[in-house]
């Protein structure tokens, strides 16, 4: 496995100065340990940093938020980074004032906007662009090891570890403590812990709130709230169903995905290692391809919806990008068979799809059947990040 130090991330942050003042602001959101702080140090090495994970800095600013304004007015830095901004939401008022009265530019970094939305009076009133940093992608990892990726996930420290499981355990435990208890998102932490295990079992499958509620011993409304907590704190996301139909009856239930493959695997009880050929390996492969596409769209500012297509009779396509700009079926097998194409064939019978693709582990560079491209995963990723897969 290649050594990744330092990791060159794809995401770039460009700040557009405001007329008159020249100030600017951006939010950088991302789950914990995706590398937000490291990225900002690489992009803005001369920025004035306020790291709210430093207890003395956080204590001073929590007691007297105006200290931020006083220090910036005294120092007049061109760029300021405030890391973990969600820890002191009241600082948003000071940043707002500084944007109006100085030329200082700000990047506000955090793992959750939940507390800011609840406690801050505003999120700068549209004055700040929003960027999202996701786990590592194939474009950032030379010679990516797929089996290793599916087992460890793509948080940088986990991917580089020889044994990521202790780190994944600490990650999940710290998440429960810091995001759930500290933000008082729920007071029933044992029930939420049981819910996280249920999420691991149902990750990537159709949502069933009633079943999850029974397993966790809480109400259906509580389970819905728990899922929203995961979304708000960037630990997961929903994949909506495609709803435009012509002749076939469609399933209209969403799926839920944990944000990282390794975290999803850790939440699955009694799974030490995901082996090739297993159901979990196939689900991890699908998750990997989905995350590649999510990252490509986010980093290239392509605002295209992601959905999946599933009929009541059992035909399914794993992912649809935009308005049928791209339809993707993921098969972790080393040989794609005719029956693996039935979902895409059914979709093509009903809709006009610009590009239909099966992503697999086939060694063949590329072949086409019935207008469907069958690509090895490396070739798919290269074409995706090269801008050839999702055209403007």
Residue 85 has pLDDT above 90, yes or no: yes
184 pLDDT tier (thresholds 50, 70, 90): low
241 - beta bridge partners? 308
Q: Give per-residue pLDDT as tens, 307-329.
A: 999 999 999 999 999 999 999 99
194 pLDDT tier (thresholds 50, 70, 90): confident
Residue 2 has pLDDT above 70, yes or no: no
State both tokens at 277. Answer: 């050929």
Residue 122 has pLDDT above 70, yes or no: no
Q: C-alpha dihedral over 32, 292, 236, 360, to 10 degrees?
A: -130
Residue 51 has pLDDT above 80, yes or no: yes
Average pLDDT of the segment spanning 181-190 = 73
Q: Give per-residue pLDDT as tens, 274-292.
A: 888 899 999 999 999 999 9
Determine the pLDDT at residue 346. Answer: 96
Q: Give per-residue pLDDT as tens, 135-153.
A: 999 999 988 999 999 999 9
270 pLDDT tier (thresholds 50, 70, 90): low
121 pLDDT tier (thresholds 50, 70, 90): low
Residue 3 has pLDDT above 50, yes or no: no
Distances (CA, A) of 286 to 56, 202, 361: 44, 14, 12
Average pLDDT of the segment spanning 351-362 = 96
What domains can be seen in the chain, in order of their start residue? 24-132 (3.40.50.300), 138-385 (no CATH)
Residue 1 has pLDDT above 70, yes or no: no
State both tokens at 390. Answer: 């999702």
Cα-to-chain-centroid distance, residue 161: 21
Q: In what order do the strands lie in the sheet with 356-360?
A: 255-258, 236-241, 306-310, 316-321, 326-330, 356-360, 372-376, 367-369
3-state secondary structure the chain: CCCCCCCCCCCCCCCCCCCCCCCEEEEEECCCCCCHHHHHHHHCCCCEEEECCCHHHHHHHHHCCHHHHHHHHHHCCCEEEEECHHHCCCHHHHHHHHHHHCCCEEEEEECCCHHHHHHCCCCHHHCEEEEECCCCCHHHCCCCCHHHHHHHCCCHHHHCCCCCHHHHHHHHHHHHHHHHHCCCCCCCHHHHHHHHHHHHHHCCCECCHHHHHHHHCCCHHHHHHHHHHHHHCCCEEEEEECCCCCCCCECCCCEEEECCHHHHHHCCCCCCCCCCCCHHHHHHHHHHHHHHHHHHHHHCCCCCCEEEEEECCCCEEEEEECCCCEEEEECCCCCCCHHHHHHHHHHHHHCCCCCEEEEECCCCCCEEECCEEEEEHHHHHHHHHCCCCCCC
Residue 124 has pLDDT above 90, yes or no: no
Q: Which of 344, 358, 314, 332 has the alpha carbon at shortest distance from 206?
A: 314
State both tokens at 114. Answer: 């939940």
Task: Determine contact, residues 39/133, Cβ cutoff 8 Å.
Answer: yes
pLDDT mean across residues, the chain:
91
Determine the pLDDT at residue 193. Answer: 85
Average pLDDT of the segment spanning 333-340 = 93
Q: pTM of the entire structure?
A: 0.93
Determine the pLDDT at residue 157. Answer: 93
């Amino acid at each position: 496995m290649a050594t990744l130090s330092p990791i060159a991330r794809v995401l770039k942050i460009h700040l557009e100065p405001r007329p008159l003042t020249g100030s600017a602001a951006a939010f950088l959101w991302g789950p914990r340990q995706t590398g937000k702080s490291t990225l900002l140090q690489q992009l803005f090495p001369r920025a004035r940093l306020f790291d709210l994970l430093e207890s003395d800095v956080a204590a001073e600013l929590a007691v007297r938020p105006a200290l931020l304004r006083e220090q910036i007015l005294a120092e007049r830095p061109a760029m300021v980074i405030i890391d973990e901004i969600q820890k002191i939401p009241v600082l948003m008022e000071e940043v707002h004032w500084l944007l109006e009265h100085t030329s200082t530019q700000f990047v506000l970094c955090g793992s959750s906007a939940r507390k800011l939305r609840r406690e801050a009076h505003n999120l700068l009133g549209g004055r700040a662009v929003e960027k999202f940093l996701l786990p590592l992608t194939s474009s950032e990892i030379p010679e990516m090891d797929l089996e290793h990726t599916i087992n460890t996930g793509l948080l940088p420290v986990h991917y580089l570890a020889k044994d990521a499981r202790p780190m994944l355990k600490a990650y999940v435990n710290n998440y429960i403590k810091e995001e759930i208890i500290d933000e008082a998102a729920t007071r029933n932490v044992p029930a939420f812990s049981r819910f996280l295990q249920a999420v691991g079992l149902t990750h990537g499958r159709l949502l069933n709130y009633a079943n999850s509620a029974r397993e966790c011993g809480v109400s259906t409304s509580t389970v819905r709230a728990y899922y929203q907590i995961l979304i708000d704190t960037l630990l997961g996301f929903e994949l909506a169903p495609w709803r435009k139909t012509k002749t076939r009856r469609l399933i209209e239930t969403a799926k839920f995905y944990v944000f990282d493959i390794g975290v999803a695997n850790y939440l699955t009880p009694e799974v030490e290692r995901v082996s090739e050929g297993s159901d979990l390996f196939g689900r991890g492969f699908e998750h990997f391809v989905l995350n590649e596409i999510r990252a490509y769209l986010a980093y290239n500012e392509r605002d295209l919806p992601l959905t999946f297509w599933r009929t009541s009779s059992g035909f399914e396509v794993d992912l649809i990008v935009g308005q049928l700009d791209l339809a993707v079926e993921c098969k972790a097998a080393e040989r794609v068979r005719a029956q693996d194409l039935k979902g895409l064939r059914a979709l093509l019978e009903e809709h006009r799809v610009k590009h239909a693709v099966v992503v697999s582990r086939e060694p063949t560079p590329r072949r086409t059947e019935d207008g469907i491209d069958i690509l090895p995963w490396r070739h798919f990723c290269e074409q995706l990040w090269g801008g050839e897969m999702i055209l403007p």
